[in-house]
Chain A
């Protein structure tokens, strides 16, 4: 099982590198968010609610998380359309391996992209007070988020079996990304409904875990909440993707 997941993940990554134009939009979104929000909003970090931190520490997690759109889902839709998924389903490979491979490939893609975003951020003055351990922990959160979002994209791809529908479904990314303490700390959000949304949204906990790692005084509860949010999200999306597989393979292609 583990070796099959490995073969299929390597294959998915190899193939995704062969369509580099498909990798560019995600990276561009990430970089755009980093540059534009930091460029346009960094002045507000002077507010007392930011407690003296730099705005780049605050916005970097948003840039990282925003890079997870698309990817895995599009690759899987391609496999459905070419019939290759069915071909793989005819081998003794487990359904779990078929679902996990594109998720892991999506995760690796997000981590690789985040490394570049981090490098760019360093040139913009980012420092990680928690050191190399903090750097690795940020990547670990990125990987977890990548896995969770890829699971969602894979489930949608299996359900819809259609490129445009899968693309449309990534719009969930807007509420996930913006119904949160995306631009300012919770204490600056005035609307009551928005505050409720922020609390419900799992992305909030991922943002704040990463922010904790970028601040000089690490808040352990924030990190634990981040871990719980990611584990729960992965559990939900992976289960959904798995239940969609059998149905999708049974659908007439």
Chain B
């Protein structure tokens, strides 16, 4: 069966900046596929290329078997896109925006009106539909933006960070809408996110991307298992923090500082805990709140991208 989206060796540069460095993957029909990565990983560039808004420098994108650059109109017809910034005019009403979108997709007046009403109901916007969008909350705007993307009943839906900036209630509500689109309406969904719990909760498969490359691909469970690492987490009490850090480095540990806590990825947690305790004792400190945890997706993410921020900083300097 033809994959809904097929991406092969996709590359894109902006001047000297390598946004995508030869990325390949397939999204199966009816799949909910997540692209995860830090800011600047290349997620949005990939989405813009799949949406036909930009051309890749090399590689191919096929949506429903149609190659981007050869059948952009055909791709647009089967694709529903909502970008990171909602693309709706605050000086129009929700009703007007949906109706106009329907007409631009070639629906007749009555068809467009019917579809507008359906979408307003489904997305809980009927009550506010005659108000200007500038009076809408962030959650309402997101829902309207998504409704606009669904106007022409696309088979493939592409969303760039759909829940960024939403409060937890609105995020959960949107998750349910997205799940329904895949489970009930049998749509294919490609989304990007920075939220690991979102990818964990929603996606059938996840791809981590970092610096324009695929860093890992699999189901959330696969990725967590493949890590093989455990996470040692603790705080320290007393002693000299700098001396302790130096001791950790000397013992070849790579600590991550998360708030007041210190995290260390470990293949042999039982042994490493003893080494950590020795390092602490030697610098007059004591380990507190010690935990050994199986990795979460967050941890997978952190271990795959931990070099990234330092590199960005180094380039900035």
- Give A194 to B282 CA distance when docked, in angstroms: 88
Q: Which residue of A lies closest to B90 (CB)?
A: A82
Q: Does B83 contact A (CB under 8 A)?
A: yes
Residues in B49-91 with C-beta less than 8 Å from chain A: 51-55, 73, 76-77, 79, 81, 83, 85-91
Q: Does A19 contact B (CB under 8 A)?
A: yes
Q: Does A217 contact B (CB under 8 A)?
A: no
Query: B89's contact among A3, A84, A89, A249, by CB below 8 Å, is which?
Result: A84
Q: Let me know if B48 and A18 touch, CB within 8 A.
A: no
Q: In the complex, how many angstroms separate the beta carbon of A61 from the nearest chain B beta carbon?
A: 33
Instruction: Report which B residues bind A (CB closer than 8 A).
Output: 14, 44-45, 48, 51-55, 73, 76-77, 79, 81, 83, 85-92, 96, 100-101, 103-106, 132, 148
Q: Let me know if B105 and A91 touch, CB within 8 A.
A: yes
Q: Let me know if B96 and A91 touch, CB within 8 A.
A: no
In the assembled complex, which residues on chain A have CB atoms less than 8 Å from the CB atom of B106?
92
In the assembled complex, which residues on chain B have CB atoms less than 8 Å from the CB atom of A250?
53-55
Query: B76's contact among A15, A91, A252, by CB below 8 Å, is which?
Result: A91
Q: Does A199 contact B (CB under 8 A)?
A: no
Query: A82's contact among B14, B88, B104, B148, by CB below 8 Å, is which?
Result: B88
Query: A15's contact among B48, B54, B55, B89, by CB below 8 Å, is which?
Result: B89
In the assembled complex, which residues on chain B have CB atoms less than 8 Å from the CB atom of A90?
51-53, 76, 79, 81, 87
In the assembled complex, which residues on chain B have CB atoms less than 8 Å from the CB atom of A8?
100, 104
- Give A87 to B101 CA distance when docked, in angstroms: 9
14 more A-B contacts (CB under 8 A) besides A15-B89, A92-B73, A92-B77? A7-B100, A11-B92, A11-B96, A78-B91, A82-B89, A85-B87, A86-B83, A90-B53, A90-B81, A92-B105, A92-B106, A252-B14, A252-B44, A252-B45
Q: Which residue of B lies closest to A90 (CB)?
A: B81
- Give A155 to B21 CA distance when docked, in angstroms: 33
In the assembled complex, which residues on chain B have CB atoms less than 8 Å from the CB atom of A3?
103
Q: Let me know if B87 and A92 touch, CB within 8 A.
A: no
Instruction: Report which A residues bind B (CB closer than 8 A).
Output: 3-4, 7-8, 11, 14-15, 18-19, 78-79, 82-93, 249-250, 252-253
Q: Let me know if B104 and A7 touch, CB within 8 A.
A: yes
Q: In the complex, how many angstroms separate the beta carbon of A200 from the nearest chain B beta carbon?
A: 38
In the assembled complex, which residues on chain A have CB atoms less than 8 Å from the CB atom of B105?
91-92
Q: In the complex, how many angstroms separate the beta carbon of B119 from the nearest chain A beta carbon?
A: 15
Asked if A252 meets B88 with Cβ closer than 8 Å, knowing A86-B53, A87-B148, A91-B105, the reply is no
Q: List 7 A-B contacts (CB under 8 A).
A: A11-B96, A15-B92, A78-B89, A83-B87, A84-B87, A250-B53, A250-B55
Q: In the complex, how many angstroms separate the beta carbon of A164 from the nearest chain B beta carbon?
A: 20
In the assembled complex, which residues on chain B have CB atoms less than 8 Å from the CB atom of A85?
87
In the assembled complex, which residues on chain A have CB atoms less than 8 Å from the CB atom of B86?
83
- Give A78 to B88 CA distance when docked, in angstroms: 11
Q: Let me know if B91 and A18 touch, CB within 8 A.
A: yes
Q: Let me know if A11 and B76 touch, CB within 8 A.
A: no
In the assembled complex, which residues on chain A have CB atoms less than 8 Å from the CB atom of B53?
86, 89-90, 249-250
In the assembled complex, which residues on chain B have CB atoms less than 8 Å from the CB atom of A249?
53
In the assembled complex, which residues on chain B have CB atoms less than 8 Å from the CB atom of A86?
53, 83, 87
In the assembled complex, which residues on chain B have CB atoms less than 8 Å from the CB atom of A88?
104
7 closest Cβ pairs, A-B complex: A87-B87, A83-B87, A91-B104, A84-B89, A83-B85, A15-B91, A18-B91
Q: Which residue of A lies closest to B54 (CB)?
A: A250
In the assembled complex, which residues on chain B have CB atoms less than 8 Å from the CB atom of A84?
87-89
In the assembled complex, which residues on chain B have CB atoms less than 8 Å from the CB atom of A87?
83, 87-88, 101, 148
In the assembled complex, which residues on chain A have CB atoms less than 8 Å from the CB atom of B81?
90
- Give A18 to B96 CA distance when docked, in angstroms: 14
Asked if A11 meets B88 with Cβ closer than 8 Å, knowing A86-B53, A86-B83, A90-B76, the reply is no
